[in-house]
Amino acid sequence: MKRAIALLPFYLFTLLPLNAQTEALRKLNIAELAVYNLYVDSVDENKLVEDAIRGMLEKLDPHSSYSTPKEVKSMNEPLAGNFEGIGVQYNMIDDTLMVIQPIAGGPSERVGIMAGDRIVTVNDTAIAGVKMSRDEIMRRLRGAKGTKVRLGVARNGIKGNLEFTVVRDKIPVKSVDATYMIRPGIGYIRIGSFGATTHDEFMESLNRLNAEGMTHLILDLQENGGGYLQAAVRIADEFLGRDDLIVYTDGRRSPRTDYKATGNGAFMNGKVVVLVDGYTASAAEIVTGAIQDHDRGMVVGRRTFGKGLVQRPVNLPDGSMIRLTVSHYYTPSGRCIQKPYKKGDSKDYAMDMLNRLKSGELTNADSVHFADSLKYLTLKKQRTVYGGGGIMPDFFVPLDTTRYTKFHRELSAKGLIINANLRYIDKQRKTLVKTYPTFESFNATFEIPKSVTDGIIKEAEKQGIKPKDDNELATTLTYLRLQMKALIARDLWDMSHYFQVINESSDIVKKGIEVLNYEL
């Protein structure tokens, strides 16, 4: 009897009217029912369905994907421009959460939590020194807007723990990483991703730089992995003339859609340089391609990632999501810059950057080869540009492979640099604030003490990490000192000041300044 009941769904399903689609769906449903009802061991039906979905998508392009409800929430937060929590920038040091900076105007700052504080308890539960995972700590700290959380805080110079009750609130997530005047008359804006608030942040940056005397702009899109297409369209719109095509999308079931400039842009006249690298992708490539195709500005750096596929989110009842590729996007000249891929071969696709390095492309522009069929012309000056695999910059900047030594990479991978930075800023914050009341004074005279870098090298040696020779050590220390200075500037002020320090050593940034000065 039990067996007959178990087989009943199969019988009912055979009554469905047949066509190609329902026959395929019936086959899939019968397979799932068979496994769930007849398999020798018990199975997790939800996981069974998730695995089936992933199996289907894995045979498509590299950007169609499935995300669990938890992954969807994590993925959407930076693009939505906010999350709900206590409002601190933090890092972990010795299994303890240390506050780098409270978010200005956020709930933690409002109750008096300060940079350098250690959060040791949450609602009377210890989170410090108990090997609690970072995800679990974040789960306890985050929560719905308006809810309260009690925090036990250890502060240098204060005996015992302080207690604060924080009312959680919406916390902004910034997508513009840096804004400052990099040279007289030249503004610099770095966009880290394209989210819901990117355009508003960008306009705020433009207005600030205009007030400081900006006439020309460096737009830094290095390592920008993309985001919302509409956000990219709004940014590109600020540079282009009325009815200039920004991008268009076209797919098998998605008719062509054109996105055009309104002609009311806030930066229509000044010179523009866009900085890119191999991790500049998707929405960032849309902005880059529009500016290049309309000869609105010069592109500096290395060939971009090459993601020319548009994904449509398909929300599922349990909060999970399928991101399904539904169309290609094309730059104004008609280029599809999606790099080649084999359906179902995500491994080879993921190895593309390593393959570029091995081929010599990252160090030599002549190693990049495009077929004649991929040639296009820009729309005003009729310059040759290429499709079929990222956007090739107008000015190529080779990767300096000697600067980032193997020794430095190992120090970073082991967390030795960030941990040394956290310990130094923790002990010296008050002295640093008193000695350097402004970033300008810090930037002009601060040097990381030799004792700090010596400590990093000594700790590395304990872990069996050593430079191969004195030359590698000297090269590593040169960049390490600069990196440490930039990290300290970030912790004392903000991320914009980090880039203000580090950019002075960037070959791509320096080339961008050179191109702008030449173009002037």
- In which band, very low, low, confident or very high, does the pLDDT at 18 lie, cut at 50, 70 and 90? low
pLDDT at residue number 13: 45
By the 8 A CB rule, do 341 and 349 touch? yes
Q: Is the per-residue pLDDT at 290 higher than 80? A: yes
- In which band, very low, low, confident or very high, does the pLDDT at 17 lie, cut at 50, 70 and 90? low
State the CB neighbour count (10 A cutoff) for residue 267.
Answer: 23
Catalytic residue among 271, 307, 485, 511: 307
Give the residue with greater pLDDT, 392 vs 7. 392
Give the residue with greater pLDDT, 501 vs 88. 501
Catalytic residue among 293, 394, 491, 494: 293
Closest CA to 389 of 294, 308, 326, 274: 308
The kind and range of the H/E element at 180 are strand 176-183
Chain segment 22-47, per-residue pLDDT in tens: 788 888 888 888 888 888 988 888 88
Residue 307 annotated in active site: yes
- In which band, very low, low, confident or very high, does the pLDDT at 12 lie, cut at 50, 70 and 90? very low
Give the residue with greater pLDDT, 9 vs 99. 99
Chain segment 190-200, per-residue pLDDT in tens: 999 999 999 99
By the 8 A CB rule, do 204 and 189 touch? no
Chain segment 418-459, per-residue pLDDT in tens: 889 989 998 999 999 999 999 999 999 999 999 999 999 999
Q: Is the per-residue pLDDT at 6 higher than 50? A: no
Give the residue with greater pLDDT, 158 vs 167. 167
Chain segment 369-418, per-residue pLDDT in tens: 777 778 999 999 999 998 888 999 999 999 988 888 999 999 998 889 98
> What pTM does this model have?
0.87
CA angle in degrees (0–180, nearest 5) for 41-47-51: 110
By the 8 A CB rule, do 142 and 168 touch? yes
Query: Which DSSP letter does residue 387 get?
Result: -
Strand partners, 181: 187
CA distance 329 to 37: 44
CA distance 302 to 275: 9
- In which band, very low, low, confident or very high, does the pLDDT at 9 lie, cut at 50, 70 and 90? very low
Average pLDDT, whole number, for the chain? Answer: 89
Chain segment 203-217, per-residue pLDDT in tens: 999 999 999 999 999
pLDDT at residue number 20: 62
Mean pLDDT of 358-369: 85
pLDDT at residue number 369: 78
Chain segment 307-351, per-residue pLDDT in tens: 999 999 999 998 999 999 999 999 999 999 999 888 877 788 888
- Give me the half-sphere count of Cα atoms (radius 13 Å) on the Cβ side of residue 35: 14
pLDDT at residue number 302: 96
Cite the beta strand spans of 32-147 per DSSP E: 65-67, 82-85, 88-93, 96-102, 118-122, 125-126
- In which band, very low, low, confident or very high, does the pLDDT at 160 lie, cut at 50, 70 and 90? confident
Residue 282 annotated in active site: yes
Catalytic residue among 65, 108, 175, 282: 282
Return the structure tokens found at 371: 């077929």
Chain segment 94-123, per-residue pLDDT in tens: 788 988 888 878 899 898 898 888 999 999
Chain segment 218-241, per-residue pLDDT in tens: 999 999 999 999 999 999 999 999
Residues 144, 148, 153, 158, CA torsion sign:
positive
Residues 6+ apart with CB under 8 A from 82: 170, 171, 172, 173, 197
Residue 491 annotated in active site: no
pLDDT at residue number 434: 95
Residues 6+ apart with CB under 8 A from 427: none
pLDDT at residue number 341: 86
pLDDT at residue number 470: 93
Chain segment 232-267, per-residue pLDDT in tens: 999 999 999 999 999 999 999 889 999 999 999 999
Q: Is the per-residue pLDDT at 510 higher than 50? A: yes
pLDDT at residue number 298: 97
Closest CA to 446 of 509, 409, 492, 405: 492
Query: Which DSSP letter does residue 366 get?
Result: G
- In which band, very low, low, confident or very high, does the pLDDT at 75 lie, cut at 50, 70 and 90? confident
CA distance 169 to 129: 27
